[in-house]
């Protein structure tokens, strides 16, 4: 057989296959042939396609840390601190526009037990210590603040607002400021 004959044979086979499929589908839609509808199994599994996964802006995690190492690990996690101590914030954000973190703005507000605003700043005024892309729409941001030496003791509230274009996510959490005599300083690994 020459090449033209092989090509014609393949085309004839494909045409017959298409006609057979059309006849079977026509018989099924006419109700002459019936199919089993007992199976709940999907014919096409599309879970692996990233199009089906919608990532919304949200704050996945916020930790208070005694220190953040160079690999952005939170060391000395806790929520009790003394006056004049540096408190590091470890924030994991889920964002649909990963990789363009310059569009993401973070605002922090710390409120004292009396209701007075102790500290209020946003990321545009103070750049973060570091940021890292974790993949799958997750990014880590780290920031810090220093508790004032004359701050009142008690339970403080931290409000974190993350904004990106028209999306917003807010998280409220608390930490405690206690007397230096009660606070036992930990030795953190370097």
Distance in angstroms (rounded) separating the CA atoms of residues 143 and 159? 14
Cα–Cα distances (Å) from 98 to 83, 145, 153, 162, 164, in that order, read: 36, 26, 39, 14, 11
SS3 4: helix
In this prediction, residues 157-169 reach a mean pLDDT of 86
**pLDDT band at residue 16, thresholds of 50, 70 and 90?**
very high
Mean pLDDT of 61-75: 89
Per the DSSP assignment, residues forming a β-bridge with 15 are none
CA distance between the termini of the chain: 77
Q: Is the pLDDT of residue 98 over 70?
A: no
The per-residue pLDDT for 45 is: 58
Per-domain residue ranges of the chain: 1-41, 55-178
Q: With a cut of 50, say whether residue 125 has pLDDT above it.
A: no
Pair 168, 57: CB distance under 8 Å: yes
What is the dotted CATH code of the domain comprising 55-178? 2.60.40.1930
For residues 148 and 85, what is the distance between their CA atoms, to the nearest angstrom? 8
**Closest C-alpha to 91, from 127, 144, 136:** 144
Mean pLDDT confidence for 67-81: 88
Has residue 118 got a pLDDT over 70? yes
Q: Decide if pLDDT at 128 tops 60.
A: no
**Which pLDDT does position 55 carry in this prediction?**
60
Nearest to 90 by CA among 119, 69, 111, 110: 69
pTM: 0.61
Percent of the chain predicted with pLDDT > 70: 72
Average pLDDT taken over every residue of the chain: 78
């Amino acid at each position: 057989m020459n090449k033209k004959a092989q090509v014609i044979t393949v085309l004839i086979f494909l045409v017959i296959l298409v006609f057979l499929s059309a006849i079977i589908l026509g018989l099924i839609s006419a109700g002459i042939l019936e199919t089993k509808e007992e199976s709940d199994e999907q014919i096409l599994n599309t879970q692996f396609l990233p199009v089906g996964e919608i990532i919304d802006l949200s704050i996945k995690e916020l930790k208070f840390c005694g220190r953040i190492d160079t690999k952005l690990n939170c060391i000395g996690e806790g929520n009790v601190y003394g006056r004049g101590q540096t408190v590091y914030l470890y924030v994991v954000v889920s964002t649909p526009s990963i990789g363009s973190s310059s569009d993401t703005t973070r605002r922090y507000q710390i409120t004292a037990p009396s209701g007075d605003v102790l500290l209020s700043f946003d990321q545009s005024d103070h750049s973060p210590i570091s940021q890292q892309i974790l993949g799958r729409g997750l990014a880590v941001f780290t920031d810090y603040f220093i508790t004032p030496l004359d701050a009142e003791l008690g339970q403080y509230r931290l409000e974190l607002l993350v904004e990106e274009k028209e999306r917003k996510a807010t998280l409220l959490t608390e930490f405690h400021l206690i007397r230096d005599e009660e606070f036992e300083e930990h030795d953190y690994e370097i």
